[in-house]
Amino acid sequence: MATGQLDGKVALVAGAGRGIGRACALALAEWGASVVCLDSDTERGEAVAAEVAEVGPGGVFARADVLDRASVRDAVGLAGSHFGALDIAVDIVGLGRFKSYLDFSDEDFDDQVDINLRQLFIVSQECLGEMVRAGRGGSFVAISSTAGLGAMPHMAFYAATKAAVMSLVRTLAVEMGPHGIRVNGVAPGSTRTPRTAFLDEEARLREFSARVPLGRRGLPEEQAAAVRFLASDQASYMTGQTLVVDGGSSVQAGRRLDEMGDVAVVPWRGD
């Protein structure tokens, strides 16, 4: 329907190897963007870059550790050397831990602050800096979570860092606006990704779906559609906003994550 909306644009997706990140890379390519697929896993990243090249004008894999500024800078440089100045950047990388607050260790805290905030600081600073230097505007989309919208028992620091992501989106929108750069976010609800496949067993899925007004978990492609909209000129007068894509679950009072069972007992990165 809107194929060609991103013709000539150059995009970078951090955490493109699978799940929502992969869906974002493909969605941007389908609308005409050339995409740098940044991931820490070579096999996954190369596979997604090949898929992107099949549906769009170009895809290239950049192996990078999002906590290593030099490798992120190299990935941004790869966009320039292959396709031209960066127009769009999406950061999907994240990690969650399911644990009682009193059981959290210093290491747990550091891990979540690093992968949810420090890496976003590095990725956004490198990408936005490049956009400012190019002087042609741009769009940055940060993936937060509905966890950041309210109290989340047993996911205290994941929720806190995701709330911080939404706050950072608002501040960066104000700072980057004079450069013609829009900064927005997407807050996914529970989404079917490889890392959360354990939630799809029949009994758990039935119980969970009953708590969502639309009656099901989300798909990566549905999150990617929101990201692509924000990245495109269809959202040309939107900045500083976080779109909630959760099937309506966040608008219900009294729903607690810990009522759903052992959600997110494993950390996830880039889904």
pLDDT at 264: 39
CATH code at 104?
A: 3.40.50.720
Task: State the total domains in the chain.
Answer: 1
Annotation marks residue 237 as catalytic: no
Angle between helices 69-82 and 119-134 (to 10 degrees): 40
pLDDT confidence tier of residue 191, bands split at 50, 70 and 90: confident
Q: Which of 140, 158, 229, 268 is catalytic?
A: 158
Residue 139 lies in domain:
10-245
Mean pLDDT across the chain = 89
For residue 250, being part of any structural domain is answered with: no
61 in a domain, yes or no?
yes
In a domain, 94, yes or no: yes
Task: Specify if 41 maps to a domain.
Answer: yes
pLDDT surpassing 60 at residue 270: no
Q: How confident is the model at residue 263 (pLDDT cuts 50, 70, 90)?
A: very low
Does residue 231 lie in a domain region? Answer: yes
Q: Full-prediction pTM beyond 0.85?
A: yes
For residue 266, tell me if it sits in a domain.
Answer: no
258 is a domain residue:
no
Residue 251 lies in a domain: no
User: What is the tens place of the pLDDT at every residue in 203-246?
Assistant: 566 666 677 888 888 899 999 999 999 999 999 999 999 999 99
Position 23 scores a pLDDT of 97
Higher per-residue confidence, 167 vs 189: 167
